[in-house]
Amino acid sequence: MDTGAQDPVVTALSSLVSAGVIRRQLTRESGRRLRWVEAGSAGPAVVLISGAGEVGLDWAVVLPALAERSRVIAYDRAGLGASDPVSRLTLDSQVRDLVALLDSVGPAVLVGHSWGGLLAELAALARPDRTRGVVLVDPFHEDTTAEVPLALRVSSSVFLTALPLLKAIGLFNRVAANMGRELARRCTDDPGTQALVTQAYLASYATYTQVTTIRAENRLANACTPQVRAARAASAVPDVPMRILTATRGTPAALRQRSRDLADRTAALFPRGVHSVVPDSGHYIHKEQPAAVVDAVLAVLAEADAETP
């Protein structure tokens, strides 16, 4: 067992989780490492899947509460955090990594935010036998891309293009420090623990490769529609408990309504799908309204437990 004594993410999360957090990893092709952190022990595993360009630490606000009730796993995708980069980043490589993680940790409830929500869906389609339930937190849907206003698409493209330069001149680190401090503030009021969370966040984006992977994942999201549609057409939706949560602010009204409509459609595909709109929350529901996410995961866990012989 690797306790991750020198891992700043393990140190930070262990300061938030009373029973502590351990580091584990899976060896993939060519010896590359896929790292995750794990807390808790009861019930089926809960695998937390972050949004595009984000890391397992992004779940720090909800992970302690979930670890009290289940075995919780938060992983870094290839090229992000402590996971080694893949030779060629594709939608298929990301789904295969997630499926390999499920094969290693056992059947699990998949909890995905944004881009991670889409990956959770695709993994559930690919391996229904390893899926105990699904929770989608303001998930990305391939059909929203065309609805994004032109000005927002342009500004996002400019920012992504500039990321390597921002890293090189030090501006990215300032942005990351601010984001790390905000995450830490939402986790705890303790200044010492806040400092550990902030340091861990900065460590997750310390290298040039980590930053360029942010750009690569976001560009992948913008170009994945044909592959996602093919995957949906080729697979049946598993009959597992499912919850989908959507936000109420932070995007233009038309885009927000489109996201809700697509969430309704997604929930309807699952025999036990339930869509809930979370009041007073932006895209990062697990940070802004963490209780809503914890409640949704616990509801799915309860249904999954009830089905266990």
Structure tokens at 26: 């899976």
Q: What is the mean pLDDT of the chain?
A: 93
Does the residue 217 lie in any domain?
no
Residue pLDDT, tens place only, 66-112: 999 999 999 999 999 999 999 999 999 999 999 999 999 989 999 99
Classified as helix, coil or strand, 238 is: coil
Does the residue 157 lie in any domain?
no
* Residue 100 main-chain phi, psi, to 5 deg: -65, -40
C-alpha–C-alpha distance, residues 59 and 61, integer Å: 6
Alpha helices by DSSP H, 188-308: 191-204, 208-222, 225-234, 253-269, 285-288, 290-307
Most confident of 5-9, 227-231, 286-290: 286-290
The pLDDT-based confidence of 254 (bands split at 50, 70, 90) is: confident
Does the residue 136 lie in any domain?
yes
The pLDDT-based confidence of 149 (bands split at 50, 70, 90) is: low
How many domains, in total, are found in the chain?
Answer: 1
Share of the chain above pLDDT 90, in %: 81
Angle between helices 115-126 and 91-105 (to 10 degrees): 60
Task: Taking residues 38-49, report their average pLDDT.
Answer: 92
Residue pLDDT, tens place only, 162-178: 888 889 899 999 999 99
C-alpha–C-alpha distance, residues 119 and 136, integer Å: 10
Does the residue 162 lie in any domain?
no
Structural domain including 273 reads 8-147+223-307
Does the residue 28 lie in any domain?
yes
Instruction: Transcribe 138-159 into DSSP letters.
Output: S---GGGGGGS-HHHHHHHHHH
CB half-sphere exposure, 108, CA atoms < 13 A: 26
Which pLDDT value is given to residue 308? 64
Does the residue 135 lie in any domain?
yes
Q: What is the CATH number of the domain that holds 241?
A: 3.40.50.1820
The pLDDT-based confidence of 40 (bands split at 50, 70, 90) is: very high
Does the residue 176 lie in any domain?
no
Structure tokens at 40: 């808790």
Which pLDDT value is given to residue 1? 40
Which pLDDT value is given to residue 270? 95
C-alpha–C-alpha distance, residues 263 and 166, integer Å: 35
Contact 261, 144 (CB under 8 A): no
Does the residue 177 lie in any domain?
no
Contact 116, 136 (CB under 8 A): no
Task: Find, among 275, 299, 292, 245, the residue nearest to 69 by Cα.
Answer: 299
